Structure 1
Amino acid sequence: MHPYPLPSRSLLLILVALTALGEISTQLIIPSLGAIELIMTARPGSSLLALSAFVAAFGLGQLLLGPLSDRIGRRPVLIAGLLVYLLATLWMLLASSMGEFIAARVLQGVGACAALVLARAIVRDVWQAQAGPALALTVIGMLCAIALSPILGGVLTLYGGWRAPIALALVIGIACVCAVLGLYRESNRQLDPQAGQLSHLASNYADLLRAASFRALALALACTYGAMFAVIAGSSAVYIGLLGLSPAQYGITFAAIVSALIAGALFTQRRILQLGPEKIVGIGAVLVATGALATLVIYLLFGLSLLGLSVPQVLVTLGGGMLLPAAVAGAVMPNAHRAGLAAGFMGFAQMAGATCSGVLLSLLADGSAWPMVVLNSLFAVAAYGAFQLLRPRSRLVKPLQQGSHSHEQL
């Protein structure tokens, strides 16, 4: 038996599931947020804190768990994180107050972040120079979860109550643990005994951020996901509360919007070796800003409507689907010797954007769609501006790898 795992479809399928776990955990419960507030007698809008708390823990945890996996290996950190995820999800099922539910979500975020950051690092370990398309495929899995989970969550909430989506997340978590225990061997071939030590952590991250391209990609990712998260977190109240859709109808509508994420990610997966990540990020940022500004203009001119809100957001999700995997690949690929560190920071950047967006949305909530629409536009414009201002212009964008033979290894 080969001492380290080789590229295979079965391993890639596990990594896709791990990458999607965090989104599954969030998207499944979004249709039930209103019901959770009612049952736990919490103030309207307080459930948004459960989303923001999860995202904050999800992002901060990656700053530590990624480097820790560079030091002691991917497998022990991944298994420990998944076990924490299971305990936290079980706690959510038993929670009797909103404060307890939010605390459980924080712990769940810590566990889920291990799945995401380790999946990205494992892709770099195993696929090595051909990791770009594989990373894009894992993001496609995450985006499929964003598209399908709200539908499933809405149906489960309708027929099984607010605990049913959480119970499904628990079952998926158990399946992930079993798959990792049975099918994944350690893939980190160069353990770094100094990685993860607090004395070196800050200097290592500072070294990463010295690269202008890394800063541009991280900020573009953070702001793009902030723009998307404003709609992810706010859409339930707008579509169900203001436009009168049922939870199941909301799930179908939301899935139709975010299906463009998958189309964008497929474009990246197929063209990243030819175009290079930075060019794709630039195209994606233009689409995100265009869609968000169109949403704002339509809202100001014609008010809130189902089509006026949904159609322009397809451009946002199409651009986001292109940008997310390209930004991650562009940051992780040049840092093979510290893939956990780079993947951890990009995960943190993504979740930092979502956390800022979610907190602002909660603070600005006024019962209308205005805060969601404005934040969506502001973050989208910030993503475009940050990337254009910070990306290096002294050289042409280099493709990750010439040729298309890498697809055969997937």
Structure 2
Amino acid sequence: MQYCIILISVFKLGKITIGCANDLLEHKEFITLARCIMNFIVKNNDLESRVAELLERETNRKAPYSHKQTGMLRDRTLWGLILAVILMMIGVGMIVALLPQRIVDLDGNGRSVGYIASAFAFSYLLLQVPIGGLSDKIGFKPLLIAGYSLCFLTGLVYYFAANSNMIFLARLLQGVGEAPVWALAPALLSLRFPLAKGKAMGIYNAAFHFGLTLGPFLGVVLARVLNSNELFLVYSLGCLAGMIIICLLVENPVRQKGIIPGSLDLRKILELLKQRPILICFMGIALYGAGYGSFLTVIPAFLLSEKAFSPVGIGAFFSLFYMVISLSQVITGPLSDRFGRSIFMILGLLIAAVGLIIMPVFGFPIILLVVTIASLGVGIFHPASMAFLNEAVPDSLKGTISGAYYLFWGAGMFFGPPIMTRAAIYFSFQVSMAGYSFIIFLVAAVMMKISWMETRR
């Protein structure tokens, strides 16, 4: 009779653990937990207190950086990261439209304008995995401070640039500086809020894009009292303020004793890619990067050349793009915590593909609505895929896997838009978007198959 009670208790606890906290404990760990509980019960009469004690111990072991989930919106670190990234991205939103004209003014032509994106992407891609690995060893805060400091110097180089080579040097510095801002802050939040990592990442990424949305509007206002070159100083001061906020508010996670920092180099990333769900996720991330890059380059060029958009219309396009991404990430993050990551990765890819494939057919203003729908898909995919990969590695590798995420994202952003542009030149923009959307559909279909197979197990 006593052993029947034991088995029933273990079974009930298993249902609660697996059903309500599958983000915290894996099934194999539950088996170990159940065995420990049975041993405790045999030796102790106080069943409830011993089970509670052991469950709490296992919870703390699995989530050493756990923070009270109910206090998320009162957390100093979260608010520090949000305020800092908003200040930086407001500046980025102001200067991104100034750089092509600055190159033209310095060179007398626009032949080298295309290298603006390449210079940023080169340093950004090169340092993603090394910065992620270093953060797992020395912590996130020092690298975040260094990133904001470099971006502060970048703004000064932009301001004092006497030729286009200095602009490209500044873009290289900006890529180095922004690498930890993109990758490490979400990794830090995933450790601080292990039970609500999707929500925390979604809030941060939404703040990121909110700054980009606000930047162009603020740039127009400031242009009435400042010349265009002085806006680079505004960007520089915003990065300096962000660095100070990081110093004052952000707490570096304290690693629990017994947890050894991991090392995830390119060889180990290739080992991870042997797992089909992770491989297809990285493929989706590369496509996401290509799509994000096309929204910043290829699609605006199409709207200007073939749809006769005015500068005001292009401004509306960028504002809608960033605004929809912000809202979709705030919504998707907590939903993916509750319903799983795969469904939102698939949904995001499908929505983006449908929007992009039908977009060339429409004219102003309907095309803005269609582009907004495609932007929604991009925003849905981002937090779900980031949380999915984050859960694929132990806590000691959170920074590194975030670096790997943006390595693939940056590769897509670096190679995707030029390929789309070439396809548009040789065939048409419609064919280019159709081909890209078809690849997205294929990746989404494979994700659906993998998800269905895992559900049947």
Question: Is structure 2 residue 450 aligned with structure 1 residue 385?
Answer: no
| Aligned pairs for 1:11-22 within 5 A | 11-17=77-83
> 1:131 offset after TM fit, Å?
1.5
- Three-state SS of the structure 2 residue aligned to 1:306 is coil
> 1:15 offset after TM fit, Å?
2.2
Select 1:208's aligned residue among 252, 262, 272.
272
Which residue in 2 is equivalent to 1:403? Answer: none
Confirm or deny: 8 A CA contact 1:332 1:339 kept in the other structure: yes
Select 1:73's aligned residue among 125, 139, 148.
139
Q: Which runs of 5+ in 2 are unaligned?
A: 1-63
- Three-state SS of the structure 2 residue aligned to 1:395 is helix
> 1:286 offset after TM fit, Å?
0.7
Question: Is structure 2 residue 346 aligned with structure 1 residue 276?
Answer: no
Q: Provide the aligned C-alpha RMSD in A.
A: 3.2
Which residue in 1 is equivalent to 2:379? Answer: 321
Which residue in 2 is equivalent to 1:245? Answer: 310
Confirm or deny: 8 A CA contact 2:202 2:331 kept in the other structure: no
> 1:204 offset after TM fit, Å?
2.8
Select 1:356's aligned residue among 398, 401, 415.
415
Confirm or deny: 8 A CA contact 2:124 2:179 kept in the other structure: yes
Select 2:369's aligned residue among 308, 311, 317.
311
Which residue in 2 is equivalent to 1:92? Answer: 158
TM-score, normalised with respect to structure 1: 0.82
Select 2:454's aligned residue among 376, 395, 399.
395
- Three-state SS of the structure 2 residue aligned to 1:129 is coil
Partner letter of residue 213 of structure 1? P
- Three-state SS of the structure 2 residue aligned to 1:160 is coil
> 1:159 offset after TM fit, Å?
5.6
Confirm or deny: 8 A CA contact 1:286 1:319 kept in the other structure: yes
Confirm or deny: 8 A CA contact 1:357 1:375 kept in the other structure: no
> 1:374 offset after TM fit, Å?
5.4
Partner letter of residue 389 of structure 1? V
Which residue in 2 is equivalent to 1:334? Answer: 392
Report the Cα distance in structure 2 between the residues aligned to 1:233 and 1:267, rounded to whole angstroms: 27
Q: Deviations along 1:178-234, whole A, 9 cap, x unmatched?
A: 0111122321515977645xxx61333233323322222222122123123212124
Confirm or deny: 8 A CA contact 1:66 1:118 kept in the other structure: yes
Partner letter of residue 443 of structure 2? A
Question: Is structure 2 residue 325 aligned with structure 1 residue 261?
Answer: yes
Q: Deviations along 1:149-198, whole A, 9 cap, x unmatched?
A: 333344545763432442222122111110111122321515977645xx
Which residue in 2 is equivalent to 1:408? Answer: none
Confirm or deny: 8 A CA contact 2:351 2:376 kept in the other structure: yes
Q: Deviations along 1:363-390, whole A, 9 cap, x unmatched?
A: 6787x9955x655554443233224325
Partner letter of residue 203 of structure 1? R
Which residue in 1 is equivalent to 2:179? Answer: 113
> 1:39 offset after TM fit, Å?
1.3
Relative to structure 1, is the Cα distance of residues 5 and 100 closer, same or farther in structure 2, using a 3 angstrom cutoff? farther
Question: Is structure 2 residue 238 aligned with structure 1 residue 181?
Answer: no
Confirm or deny: 8 A CA contact 2:88 2:235 kept in the other structure: no
Relative to structure 1, is the Cα distance of residues 61 and 118 closer, same or farther in structure 2, using a 3 angstrom cutoff? same
- Three-state SS of the structure 2 residue aligned to 1:47 is coil
Q: Deviations along 1:22-57, whole A, 9 cap, x unmatched?
A: 755653323324421331125336323212321332
Which residue in 1 is equivalent to 2:211? Answer: 145
Q: Which has the higher contact order (CA 8 A, sep 6+)?
A: 1
Report the Cα distance in structure 2 between the residues aligned to 1:234 and 1:158, rounded to whole angstroms: 30
> 1:17 offset after TM fit, Å?
4.5
Which residue in 2 is equivalent to 1:406? Answer: none
Q: Deviations along 1:247-300, whole A, 9 cap, x unmatched?
A: x5532342134422233223312411222111001011110000000013x06x
> 1:316 offset after TM fit, Å?
0.7
**Percent sequence identity over matched residues?**
19
- Three-state SS of the structure 1 residue aligned to 2:194 is helix
Which residue in 2 is equivalent to 1:405? Answer: none
Bigger CA radius of gyration: 2
Confirm or deny: 8 A CA contact 2:132 2:402 kept in the other structure: yes
Higher mean alpha-carbon deviation, 108-117 vs 226-235, is at 226-235
Partner letter of residue 245 of structure 1? S
Confirm or deny: 8 A CA contact 1:227 1:357 kept in the other structure: yes
Which residue in 2 is equivalent to 1:401? Answer: none
Which residue in 1 is equivalent to 2:170? Answer: 104
Q: Which runs of 5+ in 1 are unaligned?
A: 300-304, 399-410
Confirm or deny: 8 A CA contact 1:49 1:362 kept in the other structure: no
Higher mean alpha-carbon deviation, 56-65 vs 4-13, is at 4-13
Question: Is structure 2 residue 199 aligned with structure 1 residue 130?
Answer: no
Partner letter of residue 228 of structure 1? Y
Confirm or deny: 8 A CA contact 1:124 1:333 kept in the other structure: no
Confirm or deny: 8 A CA contact 1:49 1:359 kept in the other structure: no
Report the Cα distance in structure 2 between the residues aligned to 1:175 and 1:369, rounded to whole angstroms: 47
Report the Cα distance in structure 2 between the residues aligned to 1:23 and 1:387, rounded to whole angstroms: 31
Relative to structure 1, is the Cα distance of residues 295 and 397 closer, same or farther in structure 2, using a 3 angstrom cutoff? farther
Report the Cα distance in structure 1 between the residues aligned to 2:456 and 2:196, rounded to whole angstroms: 18
Report the Cα distance in structure 1 between the residues aligned to 2:100 and 2:431, rounded to whole angstroms: 23
